[in-house]
Amino acid sequence: MRRLLQINLFLSSLLVLLAVSCSPVSGHRFVKFANITENEVRPVINKNNSLLFKAKIDLYSRHFSGLIILKQIEPAVSRLTFVTEIGMKMFDYEITDNTFKLVYVFEPLNKPKILKLLENDLKLILLQHLMNKPAAIYENKAEIIYKVKNDFRYYYQATRPSSVIGNIIKKGPVFTKVKVNYNYADSVHITRVRLKHKGFIRLTMELNTLDKSSQQ
Amino acid sequence: MLKRVLFFLFLLNALVGMAQSAFKPMKDTLGFKQKVDRMSKETNSIESDFIQVKNLSVLSEKITSKGAFCFLKQNNLRWEYSEPYKYVIVINKEKILIKDENSRVKKYDMNSNKVFKEINDIMISCVNGDILKSGKFSIRYFENDKGYKLELLPLAKSMKESLKKINMYFDKNVTSVVKLEMMENGDDTTTIDFMNKKINAPVAPDKFILK
């Protein structure tokens, strides 16, 4: 019995150690709690320009590709529209502050589980869990990490001295659920966003910026 | 005085231009249908360039893409987008093949996907003129001095949910479709202009194979 308790204690310690050492904030010192605004982090939605992405979404065996256009149409209202290359609209969201309202969805995609996944992932990409939310700020010499805890734990990493987010990790109680990676052309303008689910959900998204100057 | 005359001439010119391009109900729909029938029978292949403009009304944004289009009788279509992205969609009889930038070719069986089948039927029948006989649309016929315009209003409830209307434009000789306009509910539109057309030029069948 005593031996069993020892093994149990050892395994629990190992798990705690693993969880701590795998934490994205390990090696960073806690600085403060603060409400994250545009002063700290540059938002993905640009107030002055619309963004046009070539998008690829792989959900289990299904592949969707097309164009995502993201535009602020009023001070607090933006639209995110996905159209296929041949011009068919697949879905259209109206984003007001941090709420997503589905305006249109192409019937074959109109399934609650798919829409929930899409909405959660798009919210993640657009930093909806971070902007204007309280976060614990950690830092080291190279980077700053903003940790937000609500339904999951979200870690947003920005490389110093930039105010743009380079990576996001969404974690459950133990394991990483989703990873997002951003690439920038000039430390400000996004060129690529990659999102990948870990574990059982097989969903990846890849958004590559298209040059809007050729569209006028 | 000269300014007034110039203004009057400008106005007259504009009005004449409008009168020439305004579409009126077609007088001889039977004759037009015969021309479309002939076009359908005589067209074995079409090669052309195209410009596609997607107009997102709420966003006041236009997405313009360009590429090359190819049709080979009976059921082969190739849309090759080259700007601002590279994307090829091929319909090869019962298969749909898609080649995206830096991706492997994806193959779909048309019959396993109702939506693909519907889209394919519309695309092919728009190109070869069979859409007039499909029974899926109520059709209004118009003409002006340059060509013909058909307004196709979907009849099926499922199609009405996403598509308000398709406008098809033909030249005066009805040799092929020169322009397609797809109007969605919510006033978004997709316009495809076909240009530099080659009708019945030899087309290699391997254009409809993607590797």
Q: Which fold has domain B26-208?
A: outer membrane lipoprotein receptor (LolB), chain A (2.50.20)
Whether residue A95 lies inside any domain: the answer is: yes
- A55: domain CATH number is 2.50.20
| Cβ within 8 Å, pair A86-B83 | no
Residues A54-100 have pLDDT tens digits of 999 888 878 888 999 998 888 889 999 999 888 888 899 999 877 89
Whether residue A164 lies inside any domain: the answer is: yes
Domain positions in chain B are 26-208
How crowded is residue A116: how many other Cβ atoms within 10 Å of its Cβ? 10
Residues A37-67 have pLDDT tens digits of 988 898 888 777 788 999 998 888 788 889 9
Query: What is the C-alpha separation between A168 and A145, in angstroms, rounded?
Result: 9
| Cβ within 8 Å, pair A69-B184 | no
Q: Number of folded domains in chain A? A: 1
ipTM for this prediction: 0.77
Query: What is the C-alpha separation between A119 and A111, in angstroms, rounded?
Result: 12
Cα B183 versus chain centre, distance: 12
CB pairs < 8 Å spanning A and B: 68
| Cβ within 8 Å, pair A87-B56 | no
Whether residue A156 lies inside any domain: the answer is: yes
Query: What is the C-alpha separation between A194 and A189, in angstroms, rounded?
Result: 15
Mean pLDDT, rounded, for A8-22: 55
Q: In A, which residues are within 8 Å of B51 by CB distance?
A: none
Whether residue A16 lies inside any domain: the answer is: no
Whether residue A74 lies inside any domain: the answer is: yes
| Cα dist from A48 to A57, A75, A93, A166, B90, whole Å | 27, 10, 19, 22, 38
| Cβ within 8 Å, pair A215-B62 | yes
For residue A132, report the phi and psi dihedrals to the nearest 5 degrees. 60, 30
Residues B89-135 have pLDDT tens digits of 998 888 888 888 777 888 888 776 666 677 777 777 777 777 777 78
Which residues span the domain enclosing A192? 28-215
Q: In B, which residues are within 8 Å of A71 by CB distance?
A: 59, 61
